[in-house]
Amino acid sequence: MPGIIIPDARGGLVLIHGSDGSSIPVKVSVDSDGHLQVDALSSALPAGAATASNQSTEIASLQLIDDLRNALASVASDSLRSVIVSFPAADALGNIALRWYASWTWVGTQSSTPAGDLTVTSSAVAANRLLVLESVSAYTNLTRNIDLQVVVGGQTVLIGSGLQSANWESIIRTGQLVLNAGDTVKVVFYALTAGQTVGWSAMGYLVRTA
């Protein structure tokens, strides 16, 4: 149709034309029902528009999540694998499933020691075990400096130290410490004279981790 004819405010009719940018008017097209016809010559999607490709990617990702949910719900032949990176700290010991295994003691004496420093070391904590260390003590028959130590993951940690207040008096450290497999307890006696007597004691208990 050649254009749009609409009534004006005075009851007359107005013929509407378009413009192509020149001074020549261009007829406006309508269909047989009088609907304005518009041709979209070009159209650019905005950034992030929901294209068919993007929607396919989203559908695939959602399906993977749904498949995992179904697999975990039914178990079926699937299994969920996890890796234990580290054991929890000592203050979390009561929150993990551990089984008591055995009491643990490390006691020894040595007389007629050579002059100089002397270090004694316990056996390492066995595989699949934790040692809950509750006390460590050491003494000499003559007043000397003594260090109480643990070796954790290859690093030596001082847990007690002091000069005996009198001959045969012990340097004592109490309170729970958790040692992992491979860790040890150490005692160091300093500046001994030849022929001194030394002694040490450590107590705790072992739990199984597997």
3-state secondary structure the chain: CCCEEEECCCCCEEEEEEECCCCCEEECCECCCCCECCCCCCCCCCCCCCCHHHHHHHHHHHHHHHHHHHHHHHCCCCCCCCCCCCCCCHHHHHHCCCEEEEEEEEEEEECCCCCEEEEEECCCCCCCEEEEEEEEEEEECCCCEEEEEEEECCEEEEEEEEECCCCCCEEEEEEEEEECCCCEEEEEEEEECCCCCEEEEEEEEEEECC
Q: Where exactly does CATH 2.60.120.20 map onto the chain?
A: 91-208
pLDDT tens digits for range 161-184: 999 989 999 999 998 999 999 999
pLDDT tens digits for range 152-164: 999 999 999 999 9
pLDDT in tens, the chain (210 residues): 444 455 555 555 555 666 666 666 666 777 777 777 777 777 777 776 777 777 777 888 888 877 776 766 665 555 555 554 444 444 445 555 567 789 999 999 999 899 999 999 999 999 989 999 999 999 999 999 999 999 999 999 999 999 998 999 999 999 899 999 999 999 999 999 999 999 999 999 999 887
CATH of 91-208, one of 3.20.20.30, 3.40.50.2020, 2.120.10.30, 2.60.120.20: 2.60.120.20
